[in-house]
Amino acid sequence: MTDPDNFLVRVLARTPIATDTLAFFLERPAGFDFEAGQFVSLQLPDFDAPEDGSDDGERMLSIASAPHDPHLMVAMRMRDTAFKRHFSQCALGADGALVSLSPAMGDFVLPEDPHQPLVMLAGGIGITPFYSMLRHLQHQAASGKAVPPVTLLYGNRTHALAAWRSEFAQLCADLPRLRVLHVIAEDEGAPPPSRGQDAHVWHAGMIDAALIQQEVPDWQACRYYIVGPTAMVAAMQDCLDACGVPPEQVAIEFFAGY
């Protein structure tokens, strides 16, 4: 049953952002406020649920758009589930399908202190809240506000699975204190991994404690954010424990079952 506090909004558009990964643009209803990093519940009101109960037509999805954007955006890896088949084939635009959207939830948000260095550790589609956060910082910087130095370590199996590649390059151009390191587990050779101090670089392998210590200046003084599948989050927590990072400097968000 749809929550009475939810909003009914139309699906306006969808676009690929990486291999097997789509971004969906939704109407932003009047009075819908959120902080970068929060998530919503998205329900398909006319969803034909499988008889085996494997899918209820609802997903918790991070908001990928920034708080200043006129529309809302969510993104997901496309898998063969009833929810994703329905959502990927629905009508778009002014007469697009209606979906039920909850108010924004969650405390996985940017700190108030604009000076403490931030480290964002993302796996796969766990990049979505960080895209919102970084675009929010881009907007703040353009308005003349102070923004913290940020290092993003973004892990994927292949280069083609890295979402918003050109957009992250532009964010690096607009935010001189942002450095993005793509960490690719299966190095298939294109684009070639690079080393150095460029803002937007590629590294073959996995995110581990040695890489964090190598790539993050003053790594013990940073605030860390981790998003990804449960196993990835647990591995990153182990890495930070090995680095001696206090638990109170770490915020986590699990992306399970997507």
Tens of pLDDT, residue by residue over 88-126, are 888 999 998 999 999 999 999 999 999 999 999 999 999
CA separation for the pair 118, 73 (Å, rounded): 24
Can you give the CATH number for the domain in which 124 is found?
A: 3.40.50.80
Residue 113 lies in a domain: no
Q: What is the pLDDT of residues 60-78, one digit of tens each?
A: 999 999 999 999 999 999 9
Looking at 70, 101, 132, which one is the last position of a domain?
Answer: 101
CA separation for the pair 50, 144 (Å, rounded): 51
Secondary element (H or E) of residue 84: helix 82-89
Region 16-44 average pLDDT: 95
> Comparing 195 with 116, which gets the higher pLDDT?
116
Closest CA to 170 of 196, 130, 199: 199
Shared-domain flag, residues 27 and 132: no
Domain ranges, residue 15: 7-101
- pLDDT in the model for residue 195: 42
165-174 vs 128-142: helix crossing angle, rounded to 10 = 30
Shared-domain flag, residues 78 and 155: no
Which distant-in-sequence residues (6+ apart) come within 8 Å of 28 by Cβ?
9, 69, 70, 71, 72
Decide if pLDDT at 241 tops 60: yes
Shared-domain flag, residues 122 and 215: yes
Number of independent structural domains in the chain: 2
Instruction: Provide Rg for the chain, Cα atoms.
Output: 18
Mean pLDDT (the chain) is 89
Shared-domain flag, residues 153 and 96: no
CA separation for the pair 215, 243 (Å, rounded): 13
Whole-prediction pTM value? 0.92
Decide if pLDDT at 1 tops 70: no
Looking at 50, 75, 101, which one is the last position of a domain?
Answer: 101
Shared-domain flag, residues 122 and 89: no
CA separation for the pair 133, 91 (Å, rounded): 29
Where do the DSSP E strands lie in the chain? 7-18, 21-26, 39-43, 58-62, 72-77, 98-101, 118-123, 150-156, 178-184, 200-204, 223-228, 250-254
- pLDDT in the model for residue 194: 43
Instruction: Assign 129 a pLDDT band (cuts: 50, 70, 90).
Output: very high
Shared-domain flag, residues 158 and 197: yes
Region 165-187 average pLDDT: 92
Shared-domain flag, residues 139 and 25: no
Which distant-in-sequence residues (6+ apart) come within 8 Å of 205 by Cβ?
183, 184, 185, 187, 211
* Contact yes or no for 123/230 (Cβ under 8 A): no
Residue 149 lies in a domain: yes
Can you give the CATH number for the domain in which 33 is found?
A: 2.40.30.10
Residue 75 lies in a domain: yes
Residue type, 71: H
Instruction: Assign 149 a pLDDT band (cuts: 50, 70, 90).
Output: very high
Q: What is the pLDDT of residues 222-235, one digit of tens each?
A: 999 999 888 889 99
Residue 108 lies in a domain: no
Residue 51 lies in a domain: yes
Residue 2 lies in a domain: no
Torsion of CA 82, 12, 109, 31, to 10 degrees: -120
Residue 248 lies in a domain: yes
Shared-domain flag, residues 123 and 238: yes
Residue 106 lies in a domain: no
